[in-house]
């Protein structure tokens, strides 16, 4: 604060200079960061302690830093004999707007910039099809890859390796790595100024950046919000502290480590029978496709590998699936009955109940039943994230970002939303679509075709599509649902809606269709090769039970 007051006082004494005065945040920024290139302006220090900011040929407010494409603030120097000003009020400093490094608005001679928030199904399908001859693209996300979520449960037990379900975003859209004005930033969006067409971000940091938090801004011509959703916990006490979720690769890694750790610890001498049962009790909350598939994978792992490699404790390992209503409620009745029968036969104990609270070693149901556990996996659906809740944008029923039939956020210019974070506004008369991968992928495909079309019609720049016709609105047609239940069995439901008629299959043929469909949907040929090899390796040699990390 003292340095800031010195700068303010001396600038006033010297007439203010041409440049803007220095705020406290800029001084702290300057002390923490070292520019890579020299300044285009000079600071003239005088003997009487006064100084002025003299611009060079062209005033530079920003300069390049080590992160590609991000600009920094100027470097200022102060005279050593400048007197300290102790009586100046701090109130003015507190109300100054922070200046961020970042990407400024595009010029008329530059390509328009599309900023994409997220690397999920919707964002990556959009990135894959974007015409980079028309647009520069900036992708911002706290992860640099897309997760093929339908196969994520298989990685928890070693059926697949983790890299088989992760695709780097720079391979989905190579312009992020090759084009000079396209970038990927490992960061989280913290705010959006729709009037200035700017977003504000905080970099993901492990302590290696000059200061924490490292913040910057990015100006956009078009903004695509596809930041996804967060697991629903319904405010139940203890869920976030003690349960594992299954939406990211690191979630699957943690589940695998805990599962193998419990198996090995349970063989140690002195462990009581009761404690062995608790440690080796795997509880899954939620009877949707993810919960059912994970339960099926666990039961398959227990029957095929645990009984052979952990013979001392094989009779203590159990899986319990807890659901408040019926499992796989979106599937046909006959398929639900088949899944229930098959899971029970495979050793999965199905329970009806609602979780009241979660403790480190047990959970309590609403009827007072205590359920001890060693591994707890929470899979009860998703809801709006804290970021989505913080945005001053219209909301659809359920709290998602509200969009019209063209996936636009109607109250602001040049902002679109899609995937799990978006839903149709009530006035559109359309229902909010479920948080499914195929919904997000279809929305991404529609929006990229729309933006490519308006880009060719000179509508790519900011504020240029106000009166432009967009053509046909987005229409979603459900292609069906699939779920594996373990032991080479799966369900395939090809009805377009829950109440419609259509083909439904269960058994080995459905399992073959399930595997074939997902193998073709894996994004790259590299990962298709990985998945095929992993499946073959598991079939002939079993799952790897090494615990690494």
Q: What is the per-residue pLDDT for 466? A: 84
Q: Within 13 Å of residue 508, how many CA atoms lie on the same side as its CB?
A: 0
Sign of CA dihedral 55, 60, 62, 63: negative
Q: How far apart are CA 278 and CA 317, in angstroms?
A: 9
Q: What is the pTM of this model?
A: 0.82
Q: How far apart are CA 142 and CA 149, in angstroms?
A: 17
Q: How far apart are CA 314 and CA 169, in angstroms?
A: 41
Per-residue pLDDT of the chain (549 residues; tens, 9 = 90+): 444 444 444 444 444 433 333 444 343 343 334 433 333 333 333 333 333 333 333 333 333 333 344 444 333 344 444 344 334 444 444 445 567 789 999 999 999 999 999 999 999 999 999 999 999 999 999 999 999 999 999 999 999 999 999 999 999 999 999 999 999 999 999 999 999 999 999 999 877 777 788 899 999 999 999 999 999 999 999 999 999 999 999 999 999 999 999 999 999 999 999 999 999 999 999 999 999 999 999 999 999 999 889 988 889 999 999 999 999 998 989 999 999 999 999 999 999 999 999 999 999 999 999 999 999 999 999 999 999 999 999 999 999 999 999 999 998 999 999 999 999 999 999 999 999 999 999 999 999 999 999 999 999 999 999 889 999 999 999 989 999 999 999 999 988 777 777 788 999 999 999 999 999 999 899 999 999 999 999 999 999 888 887
User: Where are the domains positioned within the chain?
Assistant: 113-205+212-231+384-457, 244-380+479-541
Q: How far apart are CA 338 and CA 483, in angstroms?
A: 12
User: Under a CB-based contact definition with an 8 Å cutoff, are residues 186 and 201 in contact?
Assistant: no
Q: How far apart are CA 227 and CA 214, in angstroms?
A: 20
Q: What is the per-residue pLDDT for 368? A: 95
Token couple for 505: 């299959």
**Length in residues, the chain:** 549
User: Under a CB-based contact definition with an 8 Å cutoff, are residues 303 and 352 in contact?
Assistant: no
- Calculate the alpha carbon distances from 159 to 15, 167, 261, 508, 533 in Å: 71, 18, 18, 18, 10
Token couple for 328: 């796989």
Sign of CA dihedral 149, 402, 389, 103: positive
Of 492, 525, 524, 517, the closest CA to residue 506 belongs to: 492
Which parts of 60-167 fold into alpha helices (H)? Answer: 91-94, 121-129, 152-155
Ordered DSSP codes for 321-347 = EEESS-TTTTS-HHHHHHHHHHHHHTT
List, for residues 63-120, the tens digit of each pLDDT value. Answer: 333 334 444 433 334 444 434 433 444 444 444 556 778 999 999 999 999 999 999 9
CATH architecture of 244-380+479-541: 3-Layer(bba) Sandwich (3.50)
* Range 365-390 burial, b when 16+ CB lie within 10 A, else e: beeeeebebbbbbbbbebbbbebbee
Cα dihedral 485, 490, 495, 501 in deg (nearest 10): -100
Q: How far apart are CA 7 and CA 1, in angstroms?
A: 10
| CATH for 113-205+212-231+384-457, options being 4.10.640.10, 3.40.50.10860, 3.50.30.60, 3.50.50.100 | 3.50.50.100
- Examine domains 113-205+212-231+384-457 and 244-380+479-541 and report if their fold is the same: yes
Of 207, 303, 314, 294, the closest CA to residue 245 belongs to: 294
Report residue 287 CA to chain centroid gap: 23
Q: How far apart are CA 279 and CA 258, in angstroms?
A: 10
In SS3 terms, 191-225 reads as: EEECCCCEEEEEECCCCCCCCCCCEEEEECCEEEE
Q: What is the per-residue pLDDT for 97? A: 56
Look at strands 281-285 and 375-378 and give their pairing: parallel
């Amino acid at each position: 604060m003292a340095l800031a007051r010195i700068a303010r006082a001396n600038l006033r004494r010297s007439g203010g200079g041409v440049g803007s005065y220095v705020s406290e945040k800029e001084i702290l920024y300057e002390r923490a960061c070292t520019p890579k290139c020299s300044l285009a302006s000079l600071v003239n220090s005088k003997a009487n302690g006064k100084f002025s900011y003299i611009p060079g040929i062209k005033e530079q407010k920003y300069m390049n830093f080590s992160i590609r494409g991000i600009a920094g603030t100027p470097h200022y120097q102060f005279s050593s004999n400048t007197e300290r000003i102790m009586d100046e009020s701090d109130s003015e400093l507190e109300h100054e707007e922070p200046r961020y490094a970042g990407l400024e608005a595009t010029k008329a001679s530059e390509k328009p910039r599309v900023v994409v928030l997220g690397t999920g199904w919707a964002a990556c399908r959009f990135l894959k099809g974007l015409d980079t001859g028309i647009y520069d693209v900036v992708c911002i996300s706290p992860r640099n890859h897309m997760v093929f979520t339908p196969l994520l449960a298989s990685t928890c037990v070693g059926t697949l390796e983790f890299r088989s379900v992760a695709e780097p975003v720079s391979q989905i859209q190579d312009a992020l790595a090759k084009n000079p004005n396209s970038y990927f930033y490992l960061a989280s969006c913290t705010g959006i100024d729709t009037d200035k067409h700017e977003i504000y971000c905080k970099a993901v940091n492990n302590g290696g950046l000059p200061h924490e938090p490292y913040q910057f801004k990015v100006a956009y011509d078009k903004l695509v919000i596809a930041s996804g959703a967060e697991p629903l916990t319904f405010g139940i006490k203890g869920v976030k502290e003690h349960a594992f979720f299954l939406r990211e690769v690191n979630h699957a890694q943690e589940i695998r480590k805990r599962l193998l750790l419990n198996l090995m610890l349970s063989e140690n001498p002195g462990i009581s029978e009761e404690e062995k049962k608790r440690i080796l009790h795997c509880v899954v909350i939620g009877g949707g496709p993810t919960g059912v598939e994970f339960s099926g994978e666990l039961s398959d792992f227990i029957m095929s590998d645990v009984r052979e490699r952990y013979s001392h404790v094989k009779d203590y390992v159990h899986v319990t699936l807890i659901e408040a209503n019926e499992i796989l409620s979106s599937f046909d009745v006959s398929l639900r009955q088949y899944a229930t029968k098959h899971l029970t036969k495979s050793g999965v104990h199905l329970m009806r109940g609602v979780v009241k609270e979660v403790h480190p070693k047990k959970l309590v149901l609403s009827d007072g039943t205590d359920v001890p556990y060693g591994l707890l996996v929470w899979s009860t659906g998703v809801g709006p994230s804290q970021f989505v809740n913080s945005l001053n944008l219209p909301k659809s029923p359920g709290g998602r970002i509200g969009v019209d039939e063209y996936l636009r956020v109607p109250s602001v210019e040049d902002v679109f939303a899609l995937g799990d974070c978006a839903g149709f506004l009530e006035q559109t008369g359309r229902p909010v679509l479920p948080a499914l991968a195929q919904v997000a992928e279809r929305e991404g495909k529609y929006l990229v075709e729309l933006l490519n079309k308006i880009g060719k019609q000179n509508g790519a720049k900011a504020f240029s599509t106000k009166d432009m016709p967009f053509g046909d609105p987005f229409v979603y047609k459900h292609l069906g649902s699939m779920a594996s239940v373990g032991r080479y069995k799966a369900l395939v439901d090809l009805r377009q809606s829950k109440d419609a008629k259509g083909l439904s299959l269960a058994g080995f043929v459905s399992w073959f269709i399930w595997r074939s469909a997902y193998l073709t949907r894996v994004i790259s040929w590299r990962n298709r090769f990985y998945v095929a090899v992993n499946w073959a390796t598991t079939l002939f040699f079993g799952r790897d039970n090494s615990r690494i990390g």
